[in-house]
Structure 1
Amino acid sequence: MTFVKRLYRWFATMIHELTKFGIVGALAFVLDTGMFNLLNLVLGMGPLTSKVLTAAVSISFAYAGNRFWTFRHREQSGLGREYFLFFLLNGVALLFGLLVIGFTTYTLKLTDPLSVNIANIVGVGLGTLFRFWSYKRWVFLEATEPIPVELPEAKQRR
């Protein structure tokens, strides 16, 4: 029975984390895509420059959402360490997006808004798979001590 309980807890935690991670990611995606289109299509910045600038903003937003909501139940190993690793791993994930956008724009010569946005979405999707795995592995670590579900009861005064 212990195995079944552990499996259930693992599955429940995974679903809980995936849901919150997805919500934070969706909001960061909307922020990233909106700014990407503004910088690239409206202001005329290049697609790669636009992507790097929008990624810096959306990554900061995603860090706050994931640290203080998605993975708040996990051990905190220091804001500096987590933030550094978070940005480093997001830099790796950003490479997925830059490669897809660069390939679409400069190799395939598809520069219309639809093609560039599809490339952006594909790059974000590939990066998201890497990010979820890497955050759990290196940034937001498992707690070494169980975190209480309920607050301790107050001692009764007489």
Structure 2
Amino acid sequence: MTPKPPSPPPAPALPLRLVAQFRHLIHELGKFGVVGGAAYVVDLVIFNLLLSTTGWLTATVISTTVAATGAFIGNRYWTWRDRERSSLAREYLLYFFFNVVGLGISVGVLWLSHDVLGAVWPQLFQTRLADNVAKMLVGNAIASIFRFWAYRRFVFNGAPAAAPAPAQVG
């Protein structure tokens, strides 16, 4: 009787295979989330400070611009630092363009809530809480999904830079 050959080790479970396959994307998404979380706090604080002295549209534009500039620095030098660089001007102009689109998404959601729904139910939708939920939660969530895709696809789209070769001894 011949011995039975050893069976191959079992394949990892599907979730583990997916994590291994998408590890780099998950890592980028995590970094993007940290940078975005910091930008979110900046945006939230500035937006609410400005709501006391100006209208919702002006507050939105100013707070988003300040937060997006900080996020550009974090994304360029941390989230996608391993990507090959194109010119700073090209990256910032594309980044700015996609932030304007993201701002349009947030403003659209806030306008729909504050002005459209607020015209019907002003006591519900024309409040500071409703404006914060519309812009800071719903609008930013939709805009963030768009921005992650756009930044990764168009702004920081260079191939990951090759790791330096190990030093030769000898």
**TM-score, with length taken from structure 2:** 0.79
| Alignment correspondent of 2:132 | 117
1:1-150 residue pairs with structure 2 within 5 A?
10-40=21-51, 42-43=52-53, 45-109=54-118, 110-120=125-135, 121-143=137-159, 146-148=161-163
| Alignment-mate amino acid for residue 107 of structure 1 | V
Q: Following the alignment from structure 1 to structure 2, what is the Cα–Cα distance between the partners of residues 10 and 73?
A: 18
Cα RMSD for the two superposed structures: 1.9
Structure 2: where are the runs of 5+ without partners? 1-17, 119-124
- Structure 1 stretches of 4+ moved >3 Å: 7-10
- The structural deviation recorded for 1:95 is 0.5
Contact 2:85/2:158, CA 8 A, preserved across alignment = no
| Alignment-mate amino acid for residue 105 of structure 1 | H
- 2:167 is the alignment partner of 1:153: yes
Q: Following the alignment from structure 1 to structure 2, what is the Cα–Cα distance between the partners of residues 69 and 151?
A: 22
Structure 1: where are the runs of 5+ without partners? 1-6
Q: Looking at CA atoms only, which structure, 1 or 2, has the larger radius of gyration?
A: 2
Structure 1 residue matching 2:22: 3-state secondary structure: helix
Q: Following the alignment from structure 1 to structure 2, what is the Cα–Cα distance between the partners of residues 37 and 8?
A: 38
Q: Following the alignment from structure 1 to structure 2, what is the Cα–Cα distance between the partners of residues 152 and 33?
A: 45
Q: Following the alignment from structure 2 to structure 1, what is the Cα–Cα distance between the partners of residues 57 and 21?
A: 39
